[in-house]
Structure 1
Amino acid sequence: MDETVRVHPRVSVRHPGITPQDVKTAFLGALRSRARDTDPVQWVGVGLDGRGRLLEFIAVELDSHEWLVFHAMVATTKVLREIGMRR
């Protein structure tokens, strides 16, 4: 399946050290993710970028094969707890 991943420009504005490609790599290779009870459904998860950093992301599915990641940064304890990777 070919997934299209768009990264909102504000991600790099807020976190200049994180490129759209870093976010796409982390999203497509997610280690763990889960749906939040929102409308539309938001997916929160973590994955490794191409440089070995653990990034968190929040994304929404725009259609069956297109995603918009509107938040990404180095993973926080809060998100790691939310997805069950830390106590």
Structure 2
Amino acid sequence: MHSARVATQAVLQAADAAEYHARLRRDIARQIGRATMLQRLGTSRLGRAVLVGGVALVPTALARAAAWTRVSEPALRRAGLA
């Protein structure tokens, strides 16, 4: 929803692709980076063991990891979604 709303706003404001990508990057780059790091960690046997072991030791870690990869509340507000 977020990227679609940002794209729609860019079209309505006659923004070019660079402006759209800059806004999208500003809104979600950190979350994508965190998700990518978790995904890469999970591709190795050791990484999966660390992830599963970490969640077993700290059950709230999974919810925290999910929250860290979601679009932030301020970005949702900027897009008119919150």
TM over 0.5, shorter chain: no
Give the structure with the higher percent helix: 2
Bin of the TM-score, shorter chain as denominator length: under 0.3
Give the TM-score of the pair, scaled to structure 2.
0.27
Q: Larger C-alpha radius of gyration, 1 or 2?
A: 2
